[in-house]
């Protein structure tokens, strides 16, 4: 969507941020609508989404891991949750990014346990966390939309002269989760996510 204006109205303790964008015609996708679509419609919608992801991934990297324009991640972003308040990053190299991800995973494992010790699954995966990520391929900073679930996809059918559906317009919204992250993050996020087109 086109963005027409962004501004902040000062207020205590935090300002209120506003974003004025283009109105997108269509309907928000949901699981019920997705199940009701025929195979051809699903194929077209997935193809249109794929095109949008390919365009995102082709954007030249800014050379760091963080939000666009070298901005830090907010404190509530799960991959880099290091303290309750404050911003994290950006990270100028992959090693620093992985170290921050590990620290976040360790903190979450420690603070979500209801026993004095780490849960057995955390004990198993934490020692392998950094070595595994340091061996991986596809780690270059890639522009990634982290929340392409149903509610962030707007679709509109394009009908022919006789009322038959000829094509679909598909638009991704909710771009506040856009970030430069290792390329593998997008795939792993979609496998874990709920309400995704893939899962349906």
Map residue 56 onto helix, strand or coil. helix
* Whole-number Å distance between alpha carbons of 77 and 85: 11
108 within domain boundaries: yes
In order of 19, 72, 147, the CA distances from 177 in angstroms are: 14, 12, 7
What pLDDT, on the 0 to 100 scale, is given for residue 120?
74
pLDDT at 190 over 60: no
Average pLDDT rounded to a whole number, residues 147-169: 93
Q: What is the pLDDT of residues 4-30, one digit of tens each?
A: 999 999 887 778 889 899 999 999 999
Render pLDDT for 62-76 as a digit per residue (tens, 0 to 9): 999 999 999 999 877
Q: Give dist(CA 49, CA 51) in Å, integer.
A: 5
> Where do the DSSP E strands lie in the chain?
3-9, 16-21, 27-28, 141-145, 153-159, 165-172, 178-182
Helix %, strand %, coil % of the chain (to 5): 40, 25, 35
Q: Residue 98 sits in which domain range?
A: 77-138
- Whether 4 is in a domain gets the answer no
pLDDT digits (tens, 9 = 90+) for 86-134: 789 999 999 999 999 999 988 888 887 666 677 777 778 889 999 999 9
User: Is 183 within a domain?
Assistant: no
Q: Is the peptide bond before 13 cis (omega within 30 degrees of 0)?
A: yes
Q: Is residue 148 part of a domain?
A: no
Compute the mean pLDDT over every residue in the chain, rounded to the nearest whole number: 87
Q: What is the pLDDT of residue 24?
A: 94
Q: Give the count of domains, the chain.
A: 1
pLDDT band at 199 (very low <50, low <70, confident <90, very high): very low
- Specify if 171 maps to a domain: no
Phi, psi dihedral angles at 84 (to 5 degrees): -60, -35
Q: Which tokens sit at 28?
A: 């928000």
Report the DSSP beta bridge partners of residue 179. Answer: 144
In a domain, 195, yes or no: no
pLDDT of the residue at 188:
61
* 197 pLDDT more than 70: no
Asked if residue 93 belongs to a domain, the reply is yes
pLDDT reported for residue 3: 87
- Decide if pLDDT at 43 tops 50: yes
Q: Is pLDDT of 194 > 50?
A: no
- Span 78-91, average pLDDT: 84
Q: Is residue 17 part of a domain?
A: no
């Amino acid at each position: 969507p086109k963005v027409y204006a962004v501004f902040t109205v000062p207020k205590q303790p935090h300002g209120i941020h506003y974003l004025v964008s283009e109105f997108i015609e269509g309907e928000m996708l949901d699981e019920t609508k997705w199940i009701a679509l025929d195979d051809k419609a699903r194929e077209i919608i997935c193809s249109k989404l794929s095109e949008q992801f390919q365009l995102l991934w082709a954007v030249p990297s800014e050379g760091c891991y963080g939000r666009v324009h070298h901005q830090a991640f907010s404190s509530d972003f799960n991959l880099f949750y290091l303290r309750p308040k404050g911003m994290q990053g950006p990270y100028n190299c992959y090693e620093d990014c992985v170290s921050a991800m590990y620290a976040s995973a360790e903190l979450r494992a420690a603070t979500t346990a209801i026993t004095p010790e780490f849960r057995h699954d955390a004990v198993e995966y934490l020692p392998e966390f950094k070595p595994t990520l340091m061996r991986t391929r596809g780690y270059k900073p890639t522009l990634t939309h982290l929340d392409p679930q149903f509610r962030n996809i707007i679709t509109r059918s394009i009908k022919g002269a006789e009322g038959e559906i000829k094509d679909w317009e598909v638009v991704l919204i909710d771009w506040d989760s856009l970030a430069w992250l290792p390329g593998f993050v997008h795939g792993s996020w979609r496998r874990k996510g709920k309400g995704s087109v893939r899962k349906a």
